[in-house]
Amino acid sequence: MPLRILTFLIVLFWMGTVGWLCAVVWAPPESRMSQIDPLEVYRVFFNWNDSANMTLLEHGIRRGQITVAGGSGEDAETGTILRVLSVSGSIEKYDELTSSSLVDLFWKGTVEFSEAMAMEEGEFSVRIPRQELTAQLSVTGAAAGYKAKVLMAGREILNFDSAASGQSNNALASQLLATGGMGAIPGLGDFNPAAIKFETEARMGNFNFAGRDMRAFLLRLRHPEQDQEIRVYLSEVGEPLKIETDLGFEAISEILVPLDAYRRETPPRLND
């Protein structure tokens, strides 16, 4: 009898160990995190009232930098709580001839939200030095009114106000894309920045960043129509640690960037 009990305990221990290893090694990290209300993550981030410098990577190679800031406060006129998200940064390209990084694009965006995370207004601008192009877009009010302005080499090539023009939203979107040199997108729907909606899910638990085990929030934002997802990792105090996308781009806090992200791709040598 003691031998049978011992055998049973050994088998039970082995099965428990294997099950634990499977859960740790193969289960997605977010599945081991407790699910929470996304509004709790937003509250922590906007109460952070600070900014974070992050390195922009494309498939593991540095392509630029991003600064993310979040804050909240009371509107002096209405007394309501406003939350402000600010994101700015640049995209760079390494030039082998000059052994330096050249800036392809600068961007800056600021969006104000209500306490319930309804978009109130936003400003977004892009500058492309090589084409001497500057584009600005502003969105105001719950009715999603917007203005757009594009300058190239100091000359205004587009100035649009949705409140004063009968031009369709889709026509404006096509013009903006064509101006940027990207061409129109077939099947593009009505352009309404404030109407962009994401499915959200939030979790909290322990996660490993650059070999460091840290307790963090995970906020997943998914666009159901485009089947694209953004994953944002925040520290317990709301500081952005890592932002992942399905497009090969990610942003990582400067204190967590791996050294090999700064490697340069060298051209293949020609045969003598």
What domains can you pick out in the chain, each with its CATH number?
A: 31-144+192-259 (2.50.20)
- Average pLDDT over the chain, rounded to an integer: 76
Does the pLDDT at position 247 exceed 50? yes
Mean pLDDT across 94-114 = 84
Residue 186 has pLDDT above 60, yes or no: no
6 or 57, which is more confident: 57
Is the confidence at residue 114, as pLDDT, over 80? Answer: yes
57-71, 76-90, 105-119, 140-154: the lowest-pLDDT one: 140-154
State residue 69's pLDDT score.
95
pLDDT at res. 259:
64
The residue ranking higher by pLDDT, 259 or 184, is 259
* pLDDT value of position 235: 94
- Above 50 in pLDDT, residue 185? no
Top pLDDT among 39 and 164 is at 39
pLDDT interval class at 19 (50, 70, 90)? very low
Mean of pLDDT values over 5-21: 44
Of 205 and 101, the one with more pLDDT: 205
Percent of the chain scoring above 70 in pLDDT: 68
Q: Please, are residues 135 and 180 in contact by the beta-carbon 8 Å criterion?
A: yes
> Does the pLDDT value for residue 260 go beyond 70?
no
Chain segment 216-228, per-residue pLDDT in tens: 999 999 887 777 8
